[in-house]
Structure 1
C-alpha cells in the first residue's frame, strides 16, 4: 500500500476545552422539532454549509451513497403533507385508549410549517456491486447515509436551525412525488427552519410518551448481558 504523503495528513490532537464543550452541547441539546418552526427562509449559504456537513459523514468503503433532494416548492411540500396525513391516521389506529389520545395530540411533523425540506436517499449501487466493508453486511450503505443525517442535524443545531425527521408515510407516495427511482432507498425526510426555542428535553419525554433509558442499563462488559 502506498504511504499517505505527510502533506495529506492532519495532526491528531484533542480540541480545546471550549471546542469540546461546543461539540458536546450540540449533541446534548439536539432536538427533533415538530411544530416550532418559524416561516423565515434559510439563507442559501447556510443550507450549503449543512449539506457540506452531511457530505463529510463517514461512509463504509468511502462509497458516499447519499443524495439530497432540497424541497422548497410549497406544492411539493403539500403533497408530502397529504402522504403524511394518510399514514398518520393509519398509525393512530394502531394505538388504543389513552395511548391513542396522546398520539393524536402530538404534533408529529412540520412539513407545511418549516420553510425547507430535504429528502436524503441512499444509492446502493454508488460504488459498484462489491464495496469494501459492505461485503458481509449489505446494509452498511444505509447506515452510512444515516451518519449523513446526523452530521446535518448537529451542524443545524450549531447554526440555530431546527430539524424534524418525518418517517410516517408510505414509501411509494414519496417516491412518486419526488420521482425517485426504485433502486434508490428513501432514508429521511427532514424539515428545517429557524425556531424560537427548543425543549430542554426531547419532546416525547416532556409530553409523557417515553423517557430516556439509563445508560447503565445499556452498557455490557465483554459479553451480552454482563452489566458493567
Structure 2
C-alpha cells in the first residue's frame, strides 16, 4: 500500500471481529515499527505491554473500565479486539540521557524541557503502530486509561513505577460498525490550522 493511502485510510476503529486474531507476524511488525520512532537524544525511553491472551485482555478491561459502566456502547466493540498494546513513557531515561557529556544537563531538571518529550516520543511510537495496522489491513484505536484507574492497571500488570501509561491501542480486523459521531465534525479547513510565514486567517479554536 502506498504511504499516502495508509495516511488517508487511517481512522480510529472501535469495533472488531472477535473471531479473527491478529497474525503473529503482524504483531511483530507493529512492535518493530514502534521501536523505529524518533526519540530525543535517541533515548528510546518507552515500554510496550502486549496483551494477546484473552485472560490478559479481560484483566486489562476489568482494571481500566470504570466500575458500574459494564462493557456497553463503544467499550463493547473495543473489548472484542484480539490485541491490546499499552504504550508507556519513562521520564527518568531522558533525564539520565541528557545528563551525559554530550548533553550536559547534569542537574536532571525536568524544567529544562519545553515539553514532555518522553510522552511525545511514546506518542510517535503509537502513531507508527496505528499506521502499520492500516498497512496490514487491520484497524486500530488509541485511547487513554482514566486517571482514577491507572493504579489498578499498574497493580494488575506489575508496571514499574518509572513507567507511565500514556495510552492503549486496540488492534484487530474491523467489524461492520457505524462511523464515529466525531467524524460528523468534518476535517477543519487548511486555513484554520496551517499558517505560512505568519499566523493569519481564522483563529483556530
Q: Same fold (TM over 0.5)?
A: yes
Moved more, 111-120 or 166-175: 166-175
Aligned length: 189
Q: Which runs of 4+ in 1 moved over 4 A?
A: 108-111, 132-135, 196-199
Shift of residue 110, structure 1, vs aligned partner: 4.3
Contact 2:48-2:86 at 8 Å conserved across structures = yes
Alpha-carbon RMSD across the aligned residues, in angstroms, is 2.9
Q: Which secondary structure does the structure 1 equivalent of 2:80 belong to?
A: coil
Residue segments in structure 2 that go unaligned for 5+ positions in a row: none
Q: Using a 3 Å threshold, how does the CA distance of structure 1 residues 173 and 36 change in structure 2: closer, same or farther?
A: same
CA distance in 1, matches of 2:77, 2:57: 10
Does the aligned pair in 2 maintain the 1:167–1:188 contact within 8 Å? Answer: yes
Conserved 8 A contact 1:164-1:191: yes
Q: Which residue of 1 aligns with 2:114?
A: 137
Q: Which residue of 2 aligns with 1:220?
A: 195
The gaps in structure 1 that reach 5 residues or longer are 1-18, 90-104
Structure 2 CA distance for partners of 1:63 and 1:213, relative to 1, 3 Å: same
Deviation, structure 1 residue 51: 0.6
Displacement, 1:168? 4.4
TM-score after normalising by structure 2: 0.78
Please give the residue correspondences for 1:113-132 in structure 2 after superposition, counting only pairs within 5 Å: 113-131=80-98, 132=103
Higher-Rg member (1/2): 1
Q: Is the 8 A contact 2:15 2:176 kept in 1?
A: no
Q: Would the aligned equivalents of 2:43 and 2:97 in 1 still touch at CA under 8 Å?
A: no
- Matched-pair contact (CA < 8 Å) for 2:64–2:150: no
TM-score under structure 1 normalisation?
A: 0.71
Decide whether the 8 Å contact of 1:111 with 1:117 is kept in 2.
no
More off after superposition, 139-148 vs 189-198? 189-198
Change in CA separation of 1:72 and 1:27 when aligned onto 2, cut-off 3 Å: same
